[in-house]
Structure 1
């Protein structure tokens, strides 16, 4: 088994084009559809403050999500708003700030509230320092820093939503949807050599050698699974650590819950390989099945916006439906494990049935 597995890894290292291309496609589609359409709001900034205070405020502004504050001269910042390139500019003053906005900009109250919070915190620290003796400034700054890291009390924020409404995050949905969709091709590419080996009689030579059939099946199944899992881990890691997509604290949990989905896809590929007599038929079935599964499973759009009872009924046959339930439950929905048992159980049931039927058909055809 180990030798077969090592041989397949060696072949992958020599011909990694398919794996790399599919990984790049996943990243490209997920970025364009989930992130590319949601560019940050650019806000011009000009300041009457000294350089040190301006840098302090700009550092705080960088922490505000979905916005990008860019420092300009006064004339440049105002002209950008007048010409319509920016919708808002901020004038930093010693005793406050003012917003210069375009007539149709509707988010001025939100921007003003965020800036007011920052101004209040920074001016409070300045007031504390100015009230303290000069020789105590270093000690006071140290105490303020420690208080920021270890506050006396904590404030927790929670939001309330209607249980009948679904929580939507286009970034995660496009990332999860295209990952689960495209990994079908990666797993199928791992199962494809089984058909070629059987067609070229290599399978027969292996079965009459000292290697048992169980080891041959296990090597192919493990190789296909690890190829798909490696691709999922790579793509999700790129978006989590590189792009900065928020997984709502469930990144590692999602890497664990994607395993049942991949096992199901491996089983599905084994089943298709058992009924397809030629490599051409295998590819035709895979390509003809993956796209409908993605559409029915909600990879392109959330099933919550679908009104057709027929489509919703057909979505129950798509493994992607249950894969998305697991990943969304681990991240954006923050679901307890009890709520994930149903999609987890369905995927494992499908895996057992498809794998059992697929291997049984292969053995019968061999006889």
Structure 2
């Protein structure tokens, strides 16, 4: 078996392009379908006049988690909003602001609160400086106190939330990452397992049977090789999203890597089963795309199963490996399941 593994690895080093292409395509699909890692609402703003106060407002707005502000001219702002390319825009002035919208939506209220909060924070600082100045305290000293209070608050607030049993948490970044990773690794594993059919057709297995190696070792060597390749691909993809992009794994990254092991084994076993049912490489190449896409659609790789209402489709999903892979990965991350789950 070790000889087969060694030979397979040498062949992989000579032709690694399938592995590289599948990994790259998976990363691109997961990245772009999750909006490129950007989930903030883009809001254009324009500055009417110039003052130090508007610069402070812009600095405050840049810290907002829900919005991504970018500066444009007033004409461009009006055009973006009127054409529906942006939900709204703001015109910043020294002591007030104007919100430009084509219709009042929930975004309008949130935007008004965010900008009003920025102006209020600056006004509060100025009031502190005026009060301190009347007592002979320099403004720079007040700024240092304020910064220190922000970085080292006197007390902290812990937040917790609850949800009903019929609700689910949706993270578009993790949905895309998990779904496309589990989907594309099927092709990587399956086409490596398909070499069994090619070797049988070329008579390689007939010659190997005459050697001291046993038949189960030949199958085991191909199984282990396909597992290693599939698991390495998933590791590379997940490490890219963990350390290069801003995908949040909610503290379950290590658990996710462990949960990938049984999924990869199940796909290897399924691919082995298909090679036993079909007799030609052409048949295998025709069956795999149908099986992979069907499992991805039924198993919730493209969209969450929680939004599916058909009992027939939900029943079919119970026999698909991707269903349990997605459920386990989401449970280890956004659902916060422990080891007992």
Retained in 2: the 8 A contact 1:88–1:105?
Answer: no
1:355 aligned partner: none
| Structure 1 position 191 matched with structure 2 position 231 | no
Deviation at 1:225, TM superposition (A): 1.6
Tell me which of 162, 165, 168 is aligned to 1:163.
Answer: 165
Q: Distance in 2 between matches of 1:62 and 1:250?
A: 29
**Aligned pair in 2 of structure 1 residues 291, 129: CA closer, same or farther (>3 Å)?**
same
CA distance in 2, matches of 1:106, 1:305: 23
8 Å contact from structure 2 (residues 37, 247) kept in 1: no
Q: Following the alignment from structure 2 to structure 1, what is the Cα–Cα distance between the partners of residues 272 and 208?
A: 18
TM-score normalised by length of structure 1: 0.76
Q: Which has the higher contact order (CA 8 A, sep 6+)?
A: 2
Q: 1:63 to 1:209 in 2, by over 3 A?
A: farther
Distance 1:122 1:3 in 2: 71
Q: C-alpha distance in 1, partners of 2:13/2:64?
A: 43
- CA shift at 1:25, angstroms? 3.4
Give SS of 1:69's match.
Answer: strand
Name 1:111's counterpart in structure 2. 111
Secondary structure at the residue paired with 2:318? helix
Q: Give the structure 1 partner of residue 316 of structure 2.
A: 314
- Aligned partners of 1:298 and 1:321 also within 8 Å: yes
Q: Which has the higher helix share?
A: 1
Deviation at 1:325, TM superposition (A): 0.3
RMSD: 3.4
Question: CA contact under 8 A between 1:87 and 1:101: conserved in structure 2?
Answer: yes
> Where do 5+ consecutive residues of structure 1 fail to align?
340-367
Spell out the pairing of 1:66-77 with structure 2 (5 A cutoff).
67-74=67-74, 76-77=76-77
Match of 1:100 in 2: 100
Cα deviation per residue 1:300-324 (whole Å; 9 max; x = unaligned)? 3332233332222221110011011
**Matched pairs, number:** 339
> TM-score normalized by structure 2?
0.81
Separation (CA, whole Å) in 2 of partners of 1:314 and 1:149: 53
Distance 1:70 1:272 in 2: 53
Structure 2: runs of 5+ lacking an equivalent:
none
Match of 2:43 in 1: 43
Which residue of the other structure, out of 262, 276, 279, is the alignment partner of 1:277?
A: 279
In the other structure, the counterpart of 2:64 is 64
Is residue 54–residue 93 contact of structure 2 (8 Å, CA) maintained in 1? no
